[in-house]
């Protein structure tokens, strides 16, 4: 008969440690599965207002380079406003733009925007910017629809309307500057107010 003492550690695991691990796992799982609700309605409204002004200024430009420069500056301004106000809204909600759902939204949005940047550079180098407004509207709409799958319901609807507006412009059924103003100006303001009222901020 073997009377050797059992050298294996049979000490019980503290329950509070197990509970803490389980809570962390549950919280991470829920966070990754939850839609990101921190998109700022105020940010969309401000971006829409600045885009409306940009559409007016761009229409006054005498060269395609001047027109392009106006919209690139507007894109930088609008993106900065949206990023700042969305981050602030998420913070007030006790969340983060860099949370699981926030990262999903960003990673779904950025690739199409990168394609838009490459297309813009290529067209500018070729001296052909006539199709850029329609392509911007369609690509932005596609990015918003894709990212909207990880956010609140109005976002994909807005993306679809951008795609429709861009399609009309590319087919010659809507003027270039008017399309840009209605899209980046009007749609942003309308949906920004809707999000602001229904989802706060």
198/121 Cα distance (integer angstroms): 38
Share of the chain above pLDDT 90, in %: 49
| 77: number of Cβ within 10 Å | 15
Provide the pLDDT for residue 199: 76
Strands, E assignment, 19-148: none
Local structure of 151: helix, strand or coil: strand
Per residue in 27-75, pLDDT (tens digit) is: 444 444 456 666 788 999 999 999 999 999 999 999 999 999 999 999 9
Per residue in 5-36, pLDDT (tens digit) is: 555 545 555 665 555 555 554 444 444 445 66
Distances (CA, A) of 40 to 8, 88, 192: 56, 9, 7
Domain map of the chain by residue range? 34-199
83/107 Cα distance (integer angstroms): 14
Q: Please, what is the average pLDDT of the chain?
A: 82
DSSP structural state of residue 36: B
On the question of pLDDT at 176 being above 50, the answer is yes
Provide the pLDDT for residue 29: 43
More confident residue, 72 or 152: 72
């Amino acid at each position: 008969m073997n009377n050797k003492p059992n050298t294996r550690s049979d000490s019980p695991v503290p329950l509070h440690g197990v509970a803490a691990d389980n809570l962390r796992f549950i919280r991470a799982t829920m966070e990754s599965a939850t839609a990101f609700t921190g998109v700022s309605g105020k940010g969309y409204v401000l971006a829409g207002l600045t885009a409306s002004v940009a559409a007016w200024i761009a229409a006054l430009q005498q060269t395609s380079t001047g027109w392009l420069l106006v919209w690139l500056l507007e894109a930088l301004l609008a993106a900065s406003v949206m990023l700042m106000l969305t981050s602030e809204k998420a913070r007030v909600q006790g969340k983060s733009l860099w949370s699981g759902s926030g990262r999903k939204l960003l990673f779904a949005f950025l690739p199409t925007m990168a394609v838009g940047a490459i297309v813009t550079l290529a067209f500018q180098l070729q001296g052909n910017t006539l199709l850029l407004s329609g392509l911007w509207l369609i690509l932005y709409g596609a990015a918003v629809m894709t990212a909207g799958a990880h956010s609140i319901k109005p976002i994909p609807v807005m993306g679809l309307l951008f795609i429709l507006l861009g399609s009309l412009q590319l087919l010659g059924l809507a003027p270039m500057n008017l399309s840009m103003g209605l899209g980046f100006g009007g749609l942003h303001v309308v949906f920004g107010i809707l999000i602001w009222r229904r989802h706060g901020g």
